[in-house]
Amino acid sequence: MAQFRTDLRDIYFNLFEVLKIQDHSALGENDLKEIITEYNKFIANEVYPTRTIGDHEGVHLKDGVVTTPKCFRDPHKKFYENGWYTLGYSEDVGGMPAPHSVSFACQSISNSANVAWSMYYGLTKGAMDVILAVGSEEQRSLFVPKMMTGEWGGTMCLTEPGAGSDVGAATTTATPNGDGTFKIKGVKIFISSGDNDLYDNIVHLVLAKTPGAPQGTKGLSLFIVPKLKIDKQGNSLAANDVRCTKIEEKMGIHGQATCELTFGANGNCEGVLIGKEFEGMQNMFIMMNHARLLCGIQGESQANLALQLSEQYVNERVQFGKEIAHHPDVKRMMLKMRAMSRGMRSLVLYTGDLFDQMHHGNAEVENEIAFLTPICKSFCSDEGFQVAVDAIQVHGGYGFCSEYGIEQFARDTKIATIYEGTNGIQAIDFTMRKVLKDNAKTLLAVGAKIQKTLAMPEAQEFKNECEYIAKNLQKTQELLTNFADHMKKQNTDAVLTHATSFLNFVGNLIVSWRLLASAIEAKKKMASGANSEETLYYQSKIVDFKIFVQHYLTRNASLAQQVLNFDNDLSHLKV
């Protein structure tokens, strides 16, 4: 397995030169860099070595006990002991305050090293965030401290055998016991981190229906259902009739315990309501949006590590008397991979910075975060997978074999396009809710930001590329008009047919914009007298932008053609 490599220079460029997060952080640039540097060292030394071993060893269920790869346990324990789990949380709950963008960067580093390992603490963060947001004071004081220390883990339990993406069809029930607790009964499937030996107890957040609940998602309530019952002091007691009844055998993330969980098979499973009755779905969305952004980070992070390892390989592998990095087709692939991988990073860190702006009182960015979340999830997971496939191609036969660990990137990344709402569902949510529902108000606001960047004096040095971005902005309006016409005719299926194309169109446009902002900043730094080493890096940022526009933004021409100039009614076609 090749040596772990993180492009810290590019992370720092995005955070401190483009986004300038130090200007609205209580910590200075050097302190923030030190956090990321030390985090990267920990992940490189402790987590990355578990990547292929954990993949080979997998997860096992025997006599009702789930065991994770042995190599996961020591870094998991040290991760909590070193306080890395607490990064980004307030001191009020025992956290280590840091900007969201820094937290996103660190999550990217750990997910690049080992997605399966990172998901255990990632799901715990998501469950804990729900408890912090909507839990009672008693629930927060009972569950959060032990989740912060790593004694207890967390999951979200939505999917059922007969209700996959159709969450409202769930049949899990919650019957009042008369003492404030509920008797939980049902089966949930595809539960990430559903059972494992890394935590002493696991806090499940379970969607279920109370007696007489309305049909569909409106009837769902959310319940805290620990694996082990606990007393009011937080001590774990007897088993809570929550059993793992199956471990899924999967294409990738073999070290992740993806479980079928059976609640209340013996009629002895208890849970407590979190939030209000029938508000389960909106409360669970706190965790789901966290998880969707994490999916985007998974795609971005896997792409960036695959890129780093590919760069190392092509500069060492000799064919026909020279390193293959000098062969035009390989160079083309590598430049495309770099432009896309860095473009995804710029999108993810920009989104993280929006959270920080909102935290500091800029309420206007809340809609932009909601707007970008399905793009981060769908665009980055799709493109991250494609970069992983390209990395296999660059490595040739060695990439197809397991020796270099490259094929694992494709296997581990593909799931991010499927879980937490398939990318098709993300596209529907984006098109119908985030764009058409508010008459494209947020999209137009983002478009105004793009136009502002295009109007900067430094942007004029990229005349052809900027003109093409401007044309894409104009084409966006044509697409919106087309969708509006279909909606007036109540031809919703015509819009839904092209939702994925529309999301990808906007994704290409926004990443082009973020890379333009990077290219402008790089141009400024070179003009101010950067040294030769820095100049090489800044030149690469300009190349990233140009390559992305040439090879990726140009895809928008065909995407627009699909929507505007061909038959939109597929209802008469047989599959």
Gyration radius from the chain CA atoms: 24
218 and 160 belong to one structural domain: yes
Q: What is the pLDDT of residue 531?
A: 87
Instruction: Look at residue 325 and tell me if it is in a domain.
Output: no
Residues 65 and 160 in one domain: no
pLDDT at 167 over 80: no
Active site residues: 420
My answer on whether 575 and 453 are in the same domain is yes
Range of the domain at 255: 154-277
pLDDT at 27: 92
Residues 242, 174 share a domain: yes
Choosing from 260, 277, 294, the residue where a domain stops is 277
How far is residue 29's CA from residue 24's CA, in Å, rounded to a whole number? 11
- Over the stretch 386-424, which tens digit does the pLDDT of each residue have? 999 999 999 999 999 998 899 999 999 999 999 989 999
pLDDT tens digits, one per residue of 281-295: 999 888 888 899 999
442: alpha, beta or left? (left if phi > 0; alpha if psi -120 to 50): alpha
Number of domains in the chain: 3
Inter-residue contact 191 to 260 (CB < 8 Å): yes
Give the H/E segment covering residue 38.
helix 29-42
For 243-281, what is each residue's pLDDT tens digit?
999 999 999 999 999 999 999 999 999 999 999 999 999
Range scoring the smallest mean pLDDT among 67-71, 448-452, 567-571: 567-571
Q: Is residue 20 part of a domain?
A: yes
- 446 and 570 together in one domain: yes
Boundary (domain end) residue, out of 134, 164, 198: 134
> Amino acid identity of 79?
F
Whether residue 91 sits in one domain with residue 177:
no
CATH of the domain at 15: 1.10.540.10
Shared domain for 162 and 101, answered yes or no, is no
Average pLDDT across the chain, whole number: 95
Query: Could you tell me if 238 and 267 lie in one domain?
Result: yes
Residues 12 and 128 in one domain: yes
How far apart (Å, rounded) are the C-alpha atoms in residues 314 and 502?
Answer: 35
Residue 64, in any domain of the structure: yes
Whether 368 contacts 442, CB under 8 Å: yes
State whether 128 and 238 are in the same domain: no
Residue 401 within any structural domain of the chain: no
Residue 129 shares a structural domain with residue 159? no
Does residue 289 belong to any structural domain of this protein? no
For residue 418, the number of C-alpha atoms closer than 13 Å in the C-beta half-sphere is 13
Q: 291 in a domain, yes or no?
A: no
pLDDT at residue 478 tops 80: yes
Percent of the chain topping pLDDT 70: 98
CA–CA gap between residue 19 and residue 345 (Å, rounded): 12
Final residue of a domain: which of 248, 277, 306? 277
Same domain as 159, residue 127 = no
What's the CATH code of the domain at 249?
Answer: 2.40.110.20
Report the SS3 class of residue 215.
Answer: coil
Residue 47 lies in a domain: yes
Residues whose CB is less than 8 angstroms from the CB of residue 444 and which lie 6 or more positions away in sequence, other chains included: none
Instruction: Give rounded-to-5 percent helix, strand, coil for the chain.
Output: 60, 15, 25
- Residue 474 domain-assigned? yes
Residues 406 and 321 sit within 8 Å (Cβ to Cβ):
no
* Conformational region of residue 184, where left means phi above 0, alpha means psi within -120 to 50, and beta covers everything else: beta
* Per-residue pLDDT band at 75 (split at 50, 70, 90): very high
Predicted pLDDT at 569: 66
Residue 166 has pLDDT above 80, yes or no: no
